[in-house]
Structure 1
Amino acid sequence: MAVYLVTYDLRKPGRNYQPVHQYLKQFNHCKDLESVWLLDTNEPAPAIRDELKSRIDASDTVLVIRLQKNGAWWNYGCSDWINSPSRNW
């Protein structure tokens, strides 16, 4: 398993992006910023990207990055989630 940071810019006003959110919610996740999700999953980054690409428009952008255990943040609502011993770094 791995922990990924997934972020996106969804640029088409009025478009229903609910399928993007439904896809991301299926994973063990934390979301505390507008367009940033943390996922704990067995899926490789390219598979996550490809699934998201199938749910967005050509003008939208997606970034999927595998995280390492060490990080820094301030006043971030996902702190407990990140520090949980159940994370699969």
Structure 2
Amino acid sequence: MGLFAIAYDLKKQGQNYTCITDKLKALKAFHSQGSVWILKSTSKPSALRDHLKGCLDENDELLVAEVSDWATWNMQHDATYMNG
């Protein structure tokens, strides 16, 4: 099982985040910061990207990166999710 950092930037002011946040919640991702989520999954980054990109407009940005090593500071909830 891989550990992924997922970050998005919805460029349009007032854009509705519900679509992408609902999909991330359904995947049991952990909401880390702002528009950054942490996910444990057996999927490939490209499959996760394809699953989420339907929520985005053409000018929005999305990053799905597999994390092989990590460190946090003052983020106990993240560390608990990532270690668990």
Tell me the TM-score normalised to structure 1 length.
Answer: 0.84
Q: How far off its partner does 1:44 sit? A: 1.3
Q: 2:16 & 2:83 partners in 1: Cα distance? A: 33
The sequence identity of aligned pairs, in percent, is 33
Structure 1 residue runs of 4 or more that deviate by more than 4 Å after TM superposition: none
- The RMSD of aligned alpha carbons is 1.2
Tell me the TM-score normalised to structure 2 length.
Answer: 0.88
Higher helix share: 2
Q: Number of paired residues?
A: 83
The 5 A counterparts of 1:1-89 are: 1-68=1-68, 70-76=69-75, 77-84=77-84
Give the gaps of 5 or more residues in structure 2: none
Q: How far off its partner does 1:48 sit? A: 1.1
Give the gaps of 5 or more residues in structure 1: 85-89
Which amino acid in the other structure matches residue 31 of structure 2?
A: K
Measured against aligned partners, the alpha-carbon deviations of 1:21-71 in whole angstroms (never above 9, x if no partner) come to 011111232112001100111221101111221111111000000111x31
Which amino acid in the other structure matches residue 61 of structure 1?
A: E
Tell me, yes or no, if the aligned pair for 2:3 and 2:67 is still in contact at 8 Å: yes
Which amino acid in the other structure matches residue 15 of structure 2?
A: R
Tell me, yes or no, if the aligned pair for 1:6 and 1:38 is still in contact at 8 Å: yes
